[in-house]
Amino acid sequence: MSLVSARVHARNTWYLQTNAVIAAWLAVLGVVVLAHQGIRVANWLMVHLLLLGAVSTAIIIWSQHFADTLVRRPALDGRRSLIVRLVGHTLGAILVMIGMILNLFVVVLVGGVLVGAVAVLHAVLLGGELRRAKPTRFGSLVRYYVVAAVSLFGGVGLGIWMANPGTGGDLHARLYVAHIALNVLGWVGLTAVGTLLLLWPTVLRTRLGDGTDAAARTALPLLTAGVTVVAGASLAGVPLGVGAGSVLYLLGLVPVTREAVRQARHAPPTTFAGWSLAASMAWLAFSVAALGVVVATAATPADAVARLGWLVIPLLAGFSAQLLLGALSYLVPMVSGGGPQAGRAAALELNRAPLFRLLVTNGGIVLYLLPVPSLVKVVLSLLVFGVLLSFLVLLVRAVAAGGRIRSRAGSAPVAGLTAVPAGAVGPRRTRSGMAAAAVGALVLAVTAGIALDPVTAGVGTASLTTQGANASIASGEVTEATVTMLDMRFSPSILTVPSGNRLELTVTNGDTAVHDLTLANGLTSGRVAPEETVIVDAGIMAAGSEGWCSIAGHRQMGMVLQIVVTGSAATDAAADHAGSGATDSEASAADDLGAQSPPSPGFVARDAALLPASAETHHDYTFRVGDTEIEVAPAVTQTLWPFNGTAPGPTLRGKVGDTFTITLVNEASIGHSLDFHAGALAPDGPMRTIDPGETLEYSFTATRSGVWLYHCSTMPMSLHIANGMFGAVVIDPAGLDPVDREYLLVQSEFYLGPQGGVAGSDKIAAAAPDLVVFNGYANQYQDQPLRAKVGERIRFWVIDAGPNLASSFHIVGGQFDTVYVEGEYLLRDGGSTGTGGSQTLALAPAQGGFVELSFSEAGTYPFVTHAMTDAERGAAGQIMVVP
C-alpha cells in the first residue's frame, strides 16, 4: 500500500469510527424508546439522547470537517483536539443524563460544565482556525459554527440552572423557552444553515451560485439576532419579544431558502439525503413560527410551556432527526473510502426506499399534530420512530457493502453498481409503489390506534336515530343545529325540532377536556377531543328526548341537552320519560354492606405507620393512574382511579425547603390531573388535565410546614376525589419533638355506585356518603388494631380528604396534650398551664394536623371521628396498648 493510500485508508477509518459514536447514541435512544415506561424522566432523556447525544456529536465531527475544508487548513493539533472534544462532550453528556435519571444535581452540574467547556473549546479552535487562514470564498461560513458553539455554551448554562432543585415556577418556564432557543435554534439551527449553504448544492450535484455568498452574509446576523432576542425576551418575561425574535429568525432563513429553491429548480433532489434535508429545514421554519406564536399569545410562562408540548415532535423528528439522517446519508458514503464503486455501494444502501421513508416520516408527523385520539398518536409515533431508526440498519449495510468492494480492490467491477448512479430512485413504477406503501402504512397505523380505543375515536357507535321513531311521519325536512361543548355545558342547551324532521347536529368540543353526546336511548357520538368537531345524525324526531355527556360526573355538572319536538302529541310524555333516568339508578354496592361483615380472607390493613423524613432534599415520585377495582369494605368493591393503585395514594414526607418532582402517568380511561396543596405555584401548567396515555411533570418547593392534601383537580373534582384520587404530604415543622411512634390517618368518604363501578354522582352532590373511612377501607383497624406501648409518646397525623364532610378525630379513653392544626400549635405539652388538654382534632375538608398523647394503662382504645354517624359508617378503629 502506498503512503497516499495508507493516509486515505486511515482517514476513512477515522470517520467511520467517529461516526460510530453517533450510531451508538441512536441505538441507546432506540432502547430507551422501547423501555421508557420504567425510566425516570424518560421524555427528557429521549430528547437529550437525540440532541445532546447524536446530533451534537455529529455537529462536533462534521463542523470541524467542513471548517478544515472551507479554510483549506487543518485545526491546531489536528485530530488530537477533536478527540479531546468528542471524549469530553460524550462524558459530559453521559454524566448529565445519569444525574437526571438518579436525581443527583451535583452529577448534572459536573456533566454540564464539561459539555459547556467543550463548547467553548470548539468555538475557540474554530475561530482561531478562521483567523489564521487565508481568505477563501466560503471561509466565512465557519462563523456559523463559532456562533453556534457559543449558543450551546449559553444553552447548557440554562440547562444546569433548570436542573437545580430550587428552580421552579415561572422562572423554570422562562428558562425552558430560552434553553430551546439557544440549543435548538442556535447550536443545531445555525450549524444546519451554515452547512447546508455548501452541502445542499453538493447533494443536488449542481454548481454553487453567486447568490450563495450574499445569502450567507445576510442570514447570519439575522439568525443570530433572532436567537438572542428569543432567549433574552424569554428570560426577561417578555412574550411579545419572543415573537419578535422568531420573526427575525425566519427573516434570516429567507435568503438561504431562496437560494436553495433556485438550486433545486436546476437540479431537483432525487435521493433520500436531498429530500430529508429539505424536509428538515421546512420543519425548522414551521417550528420557529409556532414557537413565536405560542409564547407570544400565552397567558403566563407556565401556560406557554404547557402549550409547547406538541412542538417537540416537529423539532425532534421533523427537523433534528431528518437533518442528521439526511446529512449522514450523503456524507458517510463520501468518506467511506474504497473508490467510486465502494462509495456508490454504500450510497445505494442508505438510499433504500427513500420516498417511503420520507412520506411515512413527514406524513406521520402531520397526522400526529392533528386532533386524533391519543392512542393513534402513540402508534404513529412508534411508526415514525421505527422508520427513522431503520437508518441504523441501512448504515450497517452501507459500511458492509463498501467493505466488500474494498476487499475486492483490483478485481472487476461488481455487476450492477456502475450502471446505477448514486442518485437514482428507480423507475416511476417503483416510486408509485413506495408512495402507495407509505400511505398504506400510515392508514394502518391510524386504524390500529382507533381499534385500540374505538370509543375515543367515535367508531363503532351507532347513528343517533331515535329508536322507535315512526318513519311514516317523516316530513322530508332537515333541521340543522350547532352545539358547542364548553365550560361543562352544551350551548345551546335546548333544541327545538319540528316533529318528523331529521335532526343533524354539528357538535364542537370547545373545552379542554374530552366530552361526548349520549341520547336517552343509549346511542352515543363517541368521545370528542378538544377542538374536534363531529357531525351527528340524530335521525327523524318523533318525540322529545334528552342528551348528556356520559363521562363520569360531567352530566351532574350540567352537561345536559334537551331536545324538544313540536307538533307531537307524545312530546311531553316522551320528554318526561327521557328525563326520568337517574345516573345512580343501578343497584348500589351499598346494598351489600354488612355492619358486622369481616374483611375478605387475606385482607391486610393499610400500614398507618409514618416513616421519618429522609435526609434528602429532593424527592422524586412517579404516580401512575389507572382504573382499578379495589375492595373498600367487606364484600364491596369499586373501580377507583387511585394513584399507584392505592387510595389514599403514596404519602410524601419532607422538610421546609425540600423540593418534590412528581411525574404523573395517565394509564386510565379518562383525563386526570394533580394539585399539591404543599406547593405554591400557578396552576395553569402543572395542574392541567392530561389525557390517557400522556404524562405530566409537577415540581414544587415546600415553603411551609403542615400536613397537606394532594388530589386530582379535574372536574368534577368531587367525583375524582371521592373515587380515590387523594393523598397526603407531610412537611415537618421546625423543632418537631421526638416521639416513639407516628401514625397517619386520612379520612375520606365513599359514595358507592354499583358493585365494581365508580362513585355515584348524585350521592356526591347530595353529600350522602355510604361509607366514611380512615385510610381507604371501612373499619379496617377494628380487626387489625394499631399498636402502642404504655408510656410511649404517640403522634397521630390526621388529614380530611373529604370531599364533603368534616372530621373530628377522637380517641376514646385518651387525652391530647399537644394539638397542631394547619401549621400552628393550638396546644403544646399541656399549654401555658402544663395541664391543658384536648379531646378532638377538628378538621374541615382539606385541613390537617396532628395530636400527641401517651397511654398510662394497657388496654384497647377505640378511635373515631366524633361525628358519630360517620363513625358508624366506617370511620372507626382501635389502638391496642400493651405493657
Cell digits for 857? 394503662
**Among 80, 84, 86, which residue's Cα sits nearest to residue 59?**
86
| Residue 618, marked binder | no
Which ranges constitute the DSSP H helices of 164-271? 169-180, 191-204, 211-236, 239-266
At 546 the three-state DSSP class reads strand
**Among 478, 465, 513, which residue's Cα sits nearest to residue 690?**
513
DSSP, res 679? -
What residues contact residue 616 under an 8 Å CB cut-off, 6+ apart?
654, 658
Q: Per-residue b/e over 236-265, b at no fewer than 16 CB within 10 Å?
A: eebbebbbbbbbbbbebbebbbebbeebbe
CA angle 713, 719, 720 (to 5 degrees): 40
State the DSSP H helix or E strand holding residue 852, giving kind and residue range, or none if neither.
strand 848-854
| Residue 36, marked binder | no
Phi/psi at 167 (5° precision):
-95, 125
**Among 510, 457, 503, 196, which residue's Cα sits nearest to residue 324?**
196
Work out the number of other CB atoms within 10 angstroms of the CB of residue 340. Answer: 12
CA angle 46, 52, 55 (to 5 degrees): 95
Q: Please, is 84 exposed, middle or buried when counting C-beta atoms within 10 Å of its C-beta (0-12, 13-18, 19+)?
A: middle
- Report the distance separating Cα 509 and Cα 487, nearest Å: 10
| Residue 172, marked binder | no
Cell digits for 881? 396498648
State the DSSP H helix or E strand holding residue 864, giving kind and residue range, or none if neither.
strand 859-865
Distance, CA of 492 to chain centre: 34
| Residue 712, marked binder | yes
Q: Report the DSSP beta bridge partners of residue 659.
A: 618, 701
The amino acid present at 293, given as its one-letter code, is: V
Task: Answer yes or no: are the C-beta atoms of 243 and 296 closer than 8 Å.
Answer: yes
| Residue 720, marked binder | yes
- Report the distance separating Cα 658 and Cα 654, nearest Å: 6
DSSP sequence for 143-161: HHHHHHHHHHHHHHHHHHH
- Report the distance separating Cα 201 and Cα 290, nearest Å: 28
Which residue bears the cell 358486622?
A: 596
Task: Answer yes or no: are the C-beta atoms of 141 and 196 closer than 8 Å.
Answer: no
**Among 695, 301, 688, which residue's Cα sits nearest to residue 512?**
688
What residues contact residue 2 under an 8 Å CB cut-off, 6+ apart?
none
| Residue 866, marked binder | yes
**Among 316, 287, 445, which residue's Cα sits nearest to residue 33?**
316
| Residue 549, marked binder | no
- In whole angstroms, how large is the CA radius of gyration of the chain? 33
**Among 64, 221, 253, 216, which residue's Cα sits nearest to residue 140?**
216
Binding positions: 672, 677, 711-712, 720, 725, 866
Binding positions for Cu cation: 672, 677, 711-712, 720, 725, 866
